């Protein structure tokens, strides 16, 4: 029986004409056409010329003349539709990887568009032969994402004359739902689209009932593959309920795991855990990986215990000490299960009780989720996804001017400090909270301190469209020429150094995250009190630490990646500051291909600073500040990490009202 697929998706329909015209400016696309490489040029002419022609649709006699002059520079392609993305992806596989990287980075001159100012300057980074293997893969993905975005903008420009976009249309909805009862036990599956991924506190709730005492059913959070990719999409979370047990246990069990085409199934986690397992000693966001009330350890002694009372739950596991047996799922019994995204992992509750937690695996994070897939012995009543990432409509904002980034200082004038903020594409709400809170400090609004978000492209076309509109509206986003990927965050640190030395000049440089609240005035005053303008690292300094060799950890480091038993001194990543001379050293060493890359960005910066001291024969000042909090918030903080958007606004209100640095936990 063929699988029936039910999809919930919001179609992308509109984008402001101003953004389209700005995006497909003549300078941008002419530069695209001049990229070296015959294979690329042939590919570009096919899709770039229609985009430019659509953008140049004349609105007056003078603009018509300009359009005519520009069109003469672009050879008209043979009448043919834009290539299918699958064909485009196939074409790029014939291009040398290095040529592809250089082509994309070289395609945009810094003067063309502020959000892409780093692309030209980033070329020495992406051309390195010792670049992370993941960077090359994600560079190819970024090329595909870039083409999809251009294709969408072309289609939007072509249809703008015949259709007026509604201001109520949302590319990234706050919630999606599916309300058709379906019996999956007879075969088939339900696939519900998650248009723009998940963020902190996003939740997916399904109501249903198991439809077989010996059966099982699965809840999969599935990632996304680009059109034309042959590899199956990754499974970010596999939550498998086995009521009849399996080969390892005759009793009911929940198995959680991840899957990718490259690594196949990873190490599974079971609830309840097997005998002698340390799994149940670990927690995620303070919650047990397997709630203790979910049965007992599956051991021969317990399995044969005659004192265990019979269970009214088919397949349930009885607990020790005569406690009432409990398993969250049972044949024919309705349940409401919620999967929600925490800071460090996914959590599952059933009927209001915490059941399992699953730590995010390396490079498989909630923003990558593109759909929920349900299959197996399940009667599904309804499904709803809530708290999804959605951007604010700039057309309806009353305080847009107050939220726009102030202009950068003229050439030759240095900033007091430059703050680079790590963010990912669909974290719209976090960036807005930062704009409405600590980016309102007078030091920032006056232009003495500049703040920019550093964001990679997203595999999701809808996210890229919303991200582009946001970048144009606020002027504070720097898009990077690769797909956001945890192992590539060190490249963002490099990008901050490049921006702070090549695009602006800044006495101090700060790196922080979009979930960190920064008391800008106090942080800047604290740095100035050091009386150091060179060879300075300021933050919460870790002076004696070693690599994590636990392969199950998100921060697992192999001997090949870091052979030494200890790390050099480094500052915790939620917020640290370094002097301009260190930023210059990092950029220069990278241009010379002599900068060692390491995937933990804060440790990498520590290693670069140690190398700076050795090469330049400088005594580095490591200034540690206990009020640079790497976890949560404490009254008196200078920076507070793990703050959600509501807490960000609350912290700012405390400061505005004169209450001081009080937390909002």
178 by DSSP, 3-state: which?
strand
Render the burial of 614-646: b for 16+ CB within 10 Å, e for the rest. eeeeeebebbebebbbbeebeeebbbbbbbbbe
Q: Are residues 133 and 222 in the same domain?
A: no
pLDDT above 70: residue 73: no
Q: Are residues 569 and 429 in the same domain?
A: yes
Checking 656-661 for CB contacts under 8 A at 24+ apart, the result is 660/635, 661/519, 661/522, 661/635, 661/636, 661/637
Q: Which of 363, 386, 409 is the last residue of a domain?
A: 386
**What pLDDT, on a 0 to 100 scale, did the predictor assign at position 103?**
61
pLDDT above 90: residue 373: yes
pLDDT above 70: residue 560: yes
Q: Are residues 504 and 632 in the same domain?
A: yes
Q: How confident is the model over 279-298, as a mean pLDDT?
A: 78
pLDDT tens digit sequence for 225-247: 755 555 689 999 999 999 988 88
Residue 157: band (very low, low, confident or very high) from pLDDT cuts 50, 70, 90: low
Number of domains in the chain: 3
CA 223/CA 201 separation, integer angstroms: 18
Q: Are residues 495 and 631 in the same domain?
A: yes
Q: Are residues 27 and 106 in the same domain?
A: yes
Q: Are residues 130 and 185 in the same domain?
A: no
Q: How confident is the model over 382-399, as a mean pLDDT?
A: 86
477 in a structural domain: yes
Q: How confident is the model over 339-365, as a mean pLDDT?
A: 94
12 in a structural domain: no
**What pLDDT, on a 0 to 100 scale, did the predictor assign at position 346?**
97
pLDDT tens digit sequence for 144-156: 887 777 776 667 6
Q: Which of 98, 129, 159 is the last residue of a domain?
A: 159
Q: Are residues 304 and 331 in the same domain?
A: yes
CATH of the domain at 612: 3.90.550
pLDDT above 90: residue 642: yes
75 in a structural domain: no
Q: Are residues 50 and 191 in the same domain?
A: no
pLDDT above 50: residue 81: no
Q: Are residues 379 and 403 in the same domain?
A: no
398 in a structural domain: yes
Q: Are residues 442 and 349 in the same domain?
A: no
DSSP codes, 357-423: EEEPBTTB-GGG--EEEEEESEEEEEEEEES------GGG-SSHHHHSPPPPPPTTPPEEEEEEEE-
More confident residue, 140 or 117: 117
Q: Are residues 558 and 508 in the same domain?
A: yes
Q: How confident is the model over 337-354, as a mean pLDDT?
A: 95
Q: Which of 370, 386, 402 is the last residue of a domain?
A: 386
Q: Are residues 577 and 620 in the same domain?
A: yes
More confident residue, 277 or 558: 558
**What pLDDT, on a 0 to 100 scale, did the predictor assign at position 554?**
74
46 in a structural domain: yes
662 in a structural domain: no
Place of tokens 């100012």: 117
320 in a structural domain: yes
**What pLDDT, on a 0 to 100 scale, did the predictor assign at position 325?**
59
- Domain that includes residue 400, residue range: 394-656
pLDDT above 50: residue 550: yes
Residue 179 dihedral angles phi and psi, to the nearest 5°: -125, 20
**What pLDDT, on a 0 to 100 scale, did the predictor assign at position 602?**
96
Q: How confident is the model over 162-187, as a mean pLDDT?
A: 73
CATH of the domain at 231: 2.60.120.200
9 in a structural domain: no
CA dihedral 296, 297, 299, 304 (to 10 degrees): 0
Residue 117: band (very low, low, confident or very high) from pLDDT cuts 50, 70, 90: confident
Render the burial of 3-13: b for 16+ CB within 10 Å, e for the rest. eeebebeeebe
């Amino acid at each position: 029986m063929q699988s029936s697929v039910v999809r919930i998706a919001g179609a992308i329909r509109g984008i402001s004409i101003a953004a389209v015209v700005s995006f497909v400016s003549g300078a941008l696309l002419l530069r695209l056409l001049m990229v070296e490489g015959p294979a690329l040029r042939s590919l570009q002419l096919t899709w770039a010329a229609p985009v430019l022609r659509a953008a140049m649709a004349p609105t007056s006699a003078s603009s018509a003349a300009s359009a005519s002059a520009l069109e003469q520079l672009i050879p008209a392609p043979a009448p043919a539709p834009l290539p299918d993305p699958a064909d485009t992806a196939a074409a790029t596989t014939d291009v040398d990887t290095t040529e592809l990287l250089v082509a994309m980075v070289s395609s945009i001159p810094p003067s063309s568009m502020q959000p892409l100012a780093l692309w030209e300057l980033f070329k020495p980074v992406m051309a390195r032969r010792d670049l992370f293997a993941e960077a090359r893969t994600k560079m190819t993905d970024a090329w595909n994402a870039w083409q999809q975005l251009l294709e969408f903008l072309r289609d939007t420009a072509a249809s703008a004359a015949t259709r007026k976009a509604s201001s109520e249309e949302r590319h990234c909805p706050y919630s999606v739902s599916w309300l058709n009862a379906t019996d999956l036990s007879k075969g088939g599956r339900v696939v519900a689209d998650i248009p723009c991924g998940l963020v902190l506190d996003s939740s997916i709730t399904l109501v249903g009932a198991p439809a077989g005492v010996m059966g099982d059913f699965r809840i999969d959070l599935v990632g996304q593959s680009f059109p034309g990719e042959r590899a199956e999409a990754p499974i970010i979370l596999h939550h498998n309920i086995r009521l009849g047990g399996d080969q390892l246990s005759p009793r009911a069990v929940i198995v959680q795991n991840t899957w990718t085409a490259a690594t196949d199934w990873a190490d599974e986690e079971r609830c309840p855990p097997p005998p002698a397992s340390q799994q149940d000693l670990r927690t995620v966001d303070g919650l047990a990986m397997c709630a203790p009330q979910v049965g007992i350890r599956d051991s021969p002694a317990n399995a044969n215990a005659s004192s265990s009372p019979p269970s009214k739950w088919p397949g349930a596991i009885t607990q020790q000490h005569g406690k009432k047996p409990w398993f969250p799922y049972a044949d024919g019994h309705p349940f409401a299960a919620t999967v929600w995204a925490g800071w460090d992992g996914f959590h599952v509750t059933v009927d209001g009780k915490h059941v399992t937690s699953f730590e995010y695996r390396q490079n498989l994070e909630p923003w990558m989720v593109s759909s929920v897939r349900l299959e197996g012995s399940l009667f599904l009543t309804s499904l709803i996804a809530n708290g999804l990432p959605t951007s604010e409509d700039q057309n309806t904002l009353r305080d847009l001017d107050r939220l726009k980034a102030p202009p950068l200082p003229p050439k030759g004038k240095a900033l007091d400090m430059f703050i680079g903020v790590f963010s990912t594409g669909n974290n719209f709400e976090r960036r807005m909270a930062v704009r409405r809170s600590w980016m309102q400090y007078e030091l920032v609004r006056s232009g003495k301190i500049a703040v920019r978000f550093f964001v990679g492209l997203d595999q999701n076309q809808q996210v890229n469209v919303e991200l582009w509109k946001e970048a144009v509206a606020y002027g504070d986003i720097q898009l990077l020429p690769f797909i956001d990927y945890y192992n590539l965050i060190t490249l963002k640190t490099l990008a901050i150094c490049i921006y702070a030395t090549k695009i602006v000049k800044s006495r101090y440089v700060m790196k922080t995250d979009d979930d960190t609240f920064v008391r800008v005035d106090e942080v800047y005053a604290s740095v100035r009190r050091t009386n150091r303008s060179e060879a300075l690292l300021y933050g919460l300094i870790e002076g004696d630490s070693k690599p994590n060799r636990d392969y199950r950890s998100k921060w697992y480091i192999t001997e090949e990646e870091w052979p030494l038993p200890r790390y050099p001194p480094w500052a915790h990543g939620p917020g640290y500051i370094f002097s301009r001379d260190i930023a210059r050293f990092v950029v220069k060493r990278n241009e010379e291909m002599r900068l060692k890359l390491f995937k933990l960005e804060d440790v990498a910066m520590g290693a670069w600073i140690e190398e700076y001291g050795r090469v330049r024969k400088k005594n580095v000042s490591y200034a540690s500040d206990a009020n640079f909090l790497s976890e949560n918030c404490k009254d008196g903080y200078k920076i507070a990490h793990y703050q959600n958007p509501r807490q960000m606004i609350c912290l700012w209100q405390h400061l505005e009202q004169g209450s001081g640095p009080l937390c909002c936990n």
